[in-house]
Amino acid sequence: MLHPLKITSTLADETRFQIYEYMLQQKRSFTVQEIAEKFNIHPNVARLHLTKLTEIDVVSADFVKTGKGGRPARIYKATEHGVDLSFPKREDSYLVKWAIELIEEMGPRALEVAKRISYEDGYNKMKTRLNKVSPSITFDEKLEILSDAALLIGYIPRFVETDKGKKVILTIYNCPFRDQLTTHHEIICDLHKSYLSGKVDALFGSNDIIQFESMAHDCDFCKYEIKIPNIAL
């Protein structure tokens, strides 16, 4: 296991973190030259950043034949498992696994209780945050808070105007519960959706949330659509 200090010091560099975040979102392989051009840096600098990221195992490096002869080209891609910063090493993933298996064993009633708990957790966390700001917060300020909260749990938010109000598209490129998706994706997705719904309800009173893409169904990412009516203004 890598020491957390090595991980944090590697990702502390702003450009390096932006490179990693970009690679996570794109979900494809990159050459040094592509990264250099994207971030307007010298290829040697891009190579250094990518090497540092491979050292903490958040990016993988492979060689591919170019078809033009000569040495194979080196390509880089963000890994799917992410990083673990717990120190000393924690085994919280086992608790998640046990809790999910318990829900599955006990059936629909247990799932409904778990969804209520996750909803209330999301709702209460957002309410706590709102209590720290002005009570006369505007609608646009609420959208900004939702955007910040989404980024903290790994979502990329995008806001769309409609004739009935705001529509928020939330996209997640690297699910924090990926390890459980292969065997318990329905439970995981239900709980994640409930948690997110609680946060949005705390902000706007009501919402209509739909998941229309999912990593559990071989999509490259999970995507939610949240419709927020004009009455929230």
Task: Give residue limits of the domains in the chain.
Answer: 4-78, 92-232
Express each pLDDT in 139-186 by its tens digit. Answer: 778 878 877 777 666 677 777 877 776 777 877 766 666 666 667 888
**Does residue 2 sit in helix, strand or coil?**
coil
* Topology match between the domains 4-78 and 92-232: no
Q: Is 185 left (phi over 0), alpha (psi -120 to 50) or beta?
A: alpha
Assigned fold of 92-232? Muramoyl-pentapeptide Carboxypeptidase; domain 2 (3.30.1380)
Fold of 4-78: Arc Repressor Mutant, subunit A (1.10.10)
Distances (CA, A) of 87 to 3, 11, 139: 8, 17, 40
What burial class does residue 34 get, using C-beta atoms within 10 Å of its C-beta: 0-12 exposed, 13-18 middle, 19+ buried?
Answer: middle
Give residue-wise pLDDT tens across range 99-135: 888 998 999 999 999 999 999 999 998 888 888 887 7
